[in-house]
Amino acid sequence: MSQERRIYKRISEKVHITYRVIQSGSDKMFLPKDRGEGETQDISEGGLLFSTKEPMPIGARLELELRFPDVRYVLYPRAKVVRLEEFNEGEFYEVGLEFNQLFENDKKLILEHITRLGG
């Protein structure tokens, strides 16, 4: 039986994100300065899960641009890829990210947003 290891409560939410690779991880084909976009599946104070058409290696570090519909401020957290799952033979991927650089104000806004939506 699997044991839940998450520290933070997650909420299911679809939010468009853009990302920029700042460190490639173990895959040298995935280069820093590469850019992409996706849509979140769920969000927490500690990270998020998003879907995208591009695979990315575990350990890659990303800079995100995240805009919540109810917050006028744009958040720019940095995160590390901790999970990658392929669907429909590469049609899309789900990427699990752990925030590893988050300003206190951004963390507060994320927590307020999650609380507001029932988290």
> What was the pLDDT predicted at 9?
78
> What was the pLDDT predicted at 115?
86
Among 2.40.10.220, 3.20.20.190, 3.40.50.1360, 3.90.1150.10, name the CATH number for the domain at 11-116.
2.40.10.220
Q: Mean pLDDT in runs of 10 for the chain (119 residues)? A: 62 90 69 80 93 89 87 86 94 94 87 79
> What was the pLDDT predicted at 74?
84
Contacts of residues 23-26 at CB distance under 8 Å and 24 or more positions apart, as own/partner, are: 23/60, 23/61, 24/57, 24/60, 25/56, 25/57, 25/58, 25/59, 25/60, 25/61, 25/81, 26/57, 26/58, 26/59
